[in-house]
A and B are shown apart, each in its own frame.
Chain A
Amino acid sequence: MRRTVLSALALAGTAVLIGTGPAFADGPATPSPVPASAAPTTQPEKSAEPTRAAEPTPAPARDEPTRAPAEGQVSVVPSGAPDTGVAAAPASGSDGTALGAGAAAVLALGGGTVFVVRRRRATGA
């Protein structure tokens, strides 16, 4: 009987010990939330990310100087050749030519008539 009680007590003790064992094991496990305190450390990392996000701002700044040479000293190059000559009305020029030709024809006709008339008078016709 005594043995049974003793062994029961011993069992209970070990049970308690075993029970408390995990309790201790849990204890240190709770510090694992301490990583939760590491979570804040990850937070700063996150907060560091925004500083990386700020990198895009320098990026366009890098773009601008590269764009400038690409644009060139003439920022917009026109297409084709400039049309910088409106010829002085060729139509009026051809009119002039036509007038001249007409005048020449009239003169030639007149001259011819005078020549024929003189010839006829000379021959007594």
Chain B
Amino acid sequence: MARSVPVRLLIPAIGVDTPVIRLGLAADGTVQVPPVTAHDRAGWYRHSPTPGETGPSVLLGHVTVGPYGDGVFRHLARLRRGERITARLENGTAAEFAVTAVRTVPRTDFPADDVYGNVDRPELRLITCGGARTGDGYADNVIVFAALSGAKSPTPGER
């Protein structure tokens, strides 16, 4: 698919329908995460391919947003193999993905190669936190791996 940034993410199985913001790098070299607000949104890491391009397109979202309660990826760990994820793109097209794996890994042993390494097809990575709470955060990361299953051309009024 042609390069076009994602503007919306839909995961029907866990009731996610969220706008997508752009994220870069934080000053300490870690990936930026969406702001902690009442209306939590997902974010696309802008140094990764756009959904539908060959490579791992990386999207992040909070599991909880402190005083505001549940984050947009609250139930990400519930996703199962084969479930559908749709990324709507700025050019009006949509990239359809199917979940291939869901992993919960310790944050201290984050699998950067598996998440950010090159692949030979369009793939998606959805990342949030999970596992036991540690202070004001979490001990683990939940990572959903998905592969492109189809593409939709623009539908009038569907953006």
Contact call A77/B116, Cβ cutoff below 8 A: yes
Of B10-18, B26-34, B79-87, B146-154, the one contacting chain A is: B26-34
Contact call B137/A75, Cβ cutoff below 8 A: no
CB of A5 closer than 8 Å to a CB of B: no
Contact call A77/B112, Cβ cutoff below 8 A: yes
Give the chain A neighbours of B58 by CB distance below 8 A.
74
The contact of B136 among A81, A84, A86, by CB within 8 Å, is A86
Q: Which chain A residue shows the least CB distance to B24?
A: A76
Give the chain B neighbours of A85 by CB distance below 8 A.
62-64, 71, 128-130, 137-138
CB of B103 closer than 8 Å to a CB of A: no
Q: Give the docked Cα–Cα distance between A96 and B55 (Å).
A: 47
Shortest CB-to-CB span from A90 to chain B, Å, is 7
Interface size class of A (residues with CB under 8 A): 10 to 19
Q: Give the docked Cα–Cα distance between A78 and B107 (Å).
A: 14
Give the total number of A-B pairs whose CB atoms are below 8 A apart: 99
Q: Give the docked Cα–Cα distance between A88 and B128 (Å).
A: 15
Contact call A80/B63, Cβ cutoff below 8 A: no
Give the chain B neighbours of A81 by CB distance below 8 A.
30, 107-108, 110, 141
Q: Give the docked Cα–Cα distance between A114 and B85 (Å).
A: 61
CB of A51 closer than 8 Å to a CB of B: no
Give the chain B neighbours of A86 by CB distance below 8 A.
36, 62, 64-66, 136-137
Which residues does A use to contact B, with CB under 8 Å?
72-90
- A/B interface sample: 26 pairs, CB < 8 A: A73-B48, A73-B49, A74-B45, A74-B47, A74-B48, A74-B55, A74-B56, A76-B25, A77-B116, A78-B25, A78-B31, A78-B112, A79-B30, A81-B107, A81-B141, A83-B137, A84-B61, A84-B128, A84-B141, A85-B71, A86-B36, A86-B136, A88-B66, A88-B69, A90-B135, A90-B136
Beyond A74-B47, A82-B60, A85-B137, list 8 extra A-B contacts (CB 8 Å). Answer: A74-B49, A77-B112, A77-B116, A81-B107, A82-B33, A84-B60, A86-B136, A87-B137
